[in-house]
Amino acid sequence: MKSKSNLKKPFRGLSYLLYLATAVVLLLEIGLRIYNPFPQKMRGYKWELSTNTTYKLENISRAGLDKTIVNKRNSIGFRGVDPSSDIKNDLTAVTIGGSTTACTYLTEGKTWTDELGEHLGKKFNRIWINNAGIDGHSSFG
């Protein structure tokens, strides 16, 4: 017959492992609340767009795309030029959607929003068009 101390050994090890896992999860949670290495674009129900920012992506695996992909965000957080001071007299358009609109892996000037702007620019004298696409955007968003 096994003694009580021999029966408690596996439970001690298991309880210590559970304690250790809980402590690690809590420390990670506290640490990630202090410093979040994963920037988030959405806080609650509000989008936080980065402004006046340029991202450069080095393409090493996608054939047919530029080696260096440049993504620029203007003063309002969209891709495209800043609105003119006389925007009331411009034809204005903003494209909204998910990853196919955002065109993250296409460099500036090659997105379909840019192509649309070029096409409309031939028909209208003054046009301002911006790309408000966000990767992962859904119909709910």
Q: What is the DSSP string of 32-85?
A: HHH--SS--SEETTEE----SEEEEEE-SS-TTS-SEEEEEE-TTSSBSPPPPT
**25-74: pLDDT as tens digits:** 999 999 988 887 776 677 777 778 889 999 999 999 889 999 999 999 99
pLDDT in tens, 75-101: 999 999 999 888 899 999 999 988 899
pTM of full prediction above 0.75: no
DSSP for residue 96: -
